[in-house]
Amino acid sequence: MFKFIKMHGAGNDFAIFDEREGKISFSSQDIQKMSNRNKGIGFDQIIILSNSGRADIKMSIYNADGSSAGTCGNAARCVADLTGKDNGAIEVGERLLFFKKLPPLNNNPMYTVNMGKPEFAWDKIPLSSPVDPLNLNFMIEGFEQGAALSMGNPHLVFFSSIPLELESVAKYGALFEKHKLFPQAVNVNFAHILDNNHIALTVYERGAGITLACGSGACATAVIAYIQKLINNECKVDLPGGTLLIEITEDLEVLMTGSAVKCFEGQISF
């Protein structure tokens, strides 16, 4: 029997397991079964918590298909809530994500997480060839120009004059997710600028498909929009599952604010 906590941040949902209570090892097939929303727990990502030698806690993230997610801003807020601390740090990959608890909003815990600085080096995102990640050209009508960066995981951002229908997000998200330019696949962000401090965003996450929210995607999109002078350094990002607040500091650190909601606790066996 494995105990878990089901949580979500802006609708991006997780099954969180604590390895500090006993060794946990799930295969990709196990994760796929658990992620099934009809026959399993149902989630976008699975989070494994463990001890950290350099932070309050460590989290490892796996997508619904069993692949590694790299990082996850919405999950970071949920894990921050589980620490019971007002301030702290979470180890995820090579990064430390620092968090701060805020007053609750609509009875939901709220946290700001410093997601760190974006990575623009082509080989660190990574891309498969040394091209300018901020000026990517594709031979696909309607998506001729995009921009890429890493927030601890790779992101590709497109801006459109009108919001895309979900059918188009699914079609082109799947197409770009596995594009040859991205050897580790990529999260695909479809954004529409509402005004200079407001973005509408839908994300096709690698290994998970369309999700209700993607924290690192909101950060990546805001950074690209800020660099392109489409928004100010503070903005709201509306996603299908809720709204995140993003602030970009003078040295390009990205602060993300949003909720962390506990759904239920349970146990599962194989």
State how far the Cα of 211 lies from the Cα of 1, in Å rounded to an integer.
Answer: 28
pLDDT of residue 1: 87
User: Would residue 214 show up in a list of annotated catalytic residues for this protein?
Assistant: yes
Q: Within this chain, do residues 171 and 243 fall inside the same structural domain, yes or no?
A: yes
Q: Does the pLDDT of residue 22 top 90, yes or no?
A: no
pLDDT of residue 141: 92
Q: Within this chain, do residues 105 and 150 fall inside the same structural domain, yes or no?
A: no
pLDDT of residue 61: 98
Structure token pair of residue 200: 């509408």
Q: Which residue out of 72, 78, 219, 235 is catalytically annotated?
A: 72
Residue 39 inside a domain? The answer is yes
Q: Of the candidates 156, 124, 131, which has an alpha carbon nearest to the alpha carbon of residue 220? A: 156
Q: Within this chain, do residues 263 and 235 fall inside the same structural domain, yes or no?
A: no
- How many folded domains does the chain comprise? 2
Q: Within this chain, do residues 79 and 45 fall inside the same structural domain, yes or no?
A: yes
Q: Within this chain, do residues 59 and 107 fall inside the same structural domain, yes or no?
A: yes
Q: Does the pLDDT of residue 270 top 80, yes or no?
A: no
User: What's the CATH number where 38 sits?
Assistant: 3.10.310.10
Q: Which residue out of 78, 214, 219, 235 is catalytically annotated?
A: 214
Q: Within this chain, do residues 90 and 190 fall inside the same structural domain, yes or no?
A: no
Q: Within this chain, do residues 194 and 264 fall inside the same structural domain, yes or no?
A: no
3-state SS, residue 32: helix
Read off the pLDDT of residues 145-160 as tens digits, 9 standing for 90 and up: 999 999 999 999 999 9
Q: Within this chain, do residues 105 and 151 fall inside the same structural domain, yes or no?
A: no
The CA–CA distances, whole Å, from 100 to 142, 146, 205 equal 40, 33, 26
pLDDT of residue 89: 99
Summary mean pLDDT of the chain: 97
Q: Within this chain, do residues 206 and 262 fall inside the same structural domain, yes or no?
A: no
Query: Taking a C-beta distance cutoff of 8 angstroms, is the pair 181, 129 a contact?
Result: yes
Residue 123 inside a domain? The answer is no
Q: Using only C-alpha atoms, what is the Rg of the chain?
A: 18
Read off the pLDDT of residues 87-145 as tens digits, 9 standing for 90 and up: 999 999 999 999 999 999 999 999 999 999 999 999 999 999 999 999 999 999 999 99
Per-residue pLDDT band for 21 (boundaries 50, 70, 90) equals confident
Q: What percent of the chain is helix, strand and coil (3-state, nearest 5)?
A: 15, 45, 40
Count the neighbouring beta carbons within 10 Å of the beta carbon of residue 132.
12
pLDDT of residue 174: 98
Q: Within this chain, do residues 149 and 239 fall inside the same structural domain, yes or no?
A: yes
Residue 129 inside a domain? The answer is no
Q: Within this chain, do residues 111 and 66 fall inside the same structural domain, yes or no?
A: yes
pLDDT of residue 90: 99
Q: What percent of the chain has pLDDT over 70?
A: 100
Instruction: List the beta strands (DSSP E) in the chain.
Output: 2-9, 12-18, 45-50, 57-63, 87-92, 95-105, 108-114, 136-137, 145-150, 154-159, 187-195, 198-205, 209-211, 234-239, 242-248, 254-259, 261-268
Residue 246 inside a domain? The answer is yes
Read off the pLDDT of residues 222-238 as tens digits, 9 standing for 90 and up: 999 999 999 999 999 99
State how far the Cα of 62 lies from the Cα of 81, in Å rounded to an integer.
Answer: 20
Q: Within this chain, do residues 192 and 208 fall inside the same structural domain, yes or no?
A: yes
pTM beyond 0.75, yes or no: yes
Residue 195 inside a domain? The answer is yes
Count the neighbouring beta carbons within 10 Å of the beta carbon of residue 142.
10
| 59-80: b (≥16 Cβ within 10 Å) or e | bbbbbbebbebbbbbbbbbbbb
For the segment 168-197, the average pLDDT, to the nearest whole number, is 98
State how far the Cα of 172 lies from the Cα of 242, in Å rounded to an integer.
Answer: 23
Q: Of the candidates 146, 94, 157, which has an alpha carbon nearest to the alpha carbon of residue 124? A: 94
Residue 122 inside a domain? The answer is no
Q: The domain containing residue 64 runs over which residues? A: 2-116+258-268
State how far the Cα of 146 lies from the Cα of 114, in Å rounded to an integer.
Answer: 25
Residue 126 inside a domain? The answer is no
Count the neighbouring beta carbons within 10 Å of the beta carbon of residue 223.
24
Residue 224 inside a domain? The answer is yes
Query: What residues contact residue 84 under an 8 Å CB cut-off, 6+ apart?
Result: none
